[in-house]
Amino acid sequence: MASIIWQFFVAPIIGLLLGGFPTSFIVCKLVKGIDPREFGSGSVSTRNAIRATGVWWGMLVGGTDLVKGAAACAIVEYALARNHPHLDYLVVLTALAAVAGHCWMPYLGFKGGKGLATMAGTLMFFYWPIGPLIFPLLIVLLSRFSGYSGVGSGWGVSLISPVFFILDLIGPGTQIIQIFPHSYLVDGSGYGIPFTVLYSFGILAIILLRYIPEFKKIRSGEAKIWTTLKPDDVMK
């Protein structure tokens, strides 16, 4: 019994420590000598790194934050718990911990980013086209439609659940199964209870909690409306 349980403690720690790696802080400090917590939005994120260091360094930050989400899940699935009977739950806990670790980085006094890049990394691990392609596009479109990045991000995260469910139902017996390396995700059952509910509702709770300050700005009229921004200013 103990040989099955200990991974449930170690997996989220791996997610927290990797997800909390302060990429934006390190890049901003090395390139410009700036602490992102005291600059721009105060977020240790890709967008704030772009404000501080420029687009190319900011893209490096975003790419690294994406990779650390995928890496945490990969370490748990392929190294820590390859033959674990509850591998899907372990990977979900790792993914949630990685995103939470990015939002509240243990290395920086629990200050962090918004979690979207690291979430995209976990999505890339599960279904690679969703993470770096579909999810960012969805966030941008919904942010433009709603007028606010916080609202768009919340809607984008909430729509991941039905996307997972649909892909699982149509996956078996089709060519689409070839791009899904995890058999516990695409089995034709919809996996609504064990995976979609835990991941999607957990990740939505984390992102919404992290966006509370922005929602307060929207309510007070301080937030910038995306439709008033020029294309070059969207990431800034």
pLDDT at residue 99, rounded to an integer: 96
Domain of 31, in residue numbers: 2-233
pLDDT averaged over consecutive 10-residue blocks of the chain (236 residues)?
78 96 95 91 88 92 94 93 82 94 95 91 82 78 76 78 66 55 60 67 89 80 59 47
Neighbours of 140 (CB within 10 A): 17
* pLDDT of res. 219: 79
The Cα–Cα gap between 106 and 54 comes to 26
Total domain count, the chain: 1
Output the CA angle 40-45-49, nearest 5 degrees.
60
In the prediction, which pLDDT does 225 show? 62
The reported pTM is 0.86
Buried-state track 197-225, b at ≥16 Cβ within 10 A, e below 16: ebbbebbeebbeebbeebeeebeeeebee
Contact at 8 Å (CB) between 27 and 61?
A: yes
Write down the pLDDT at residue 128: 75
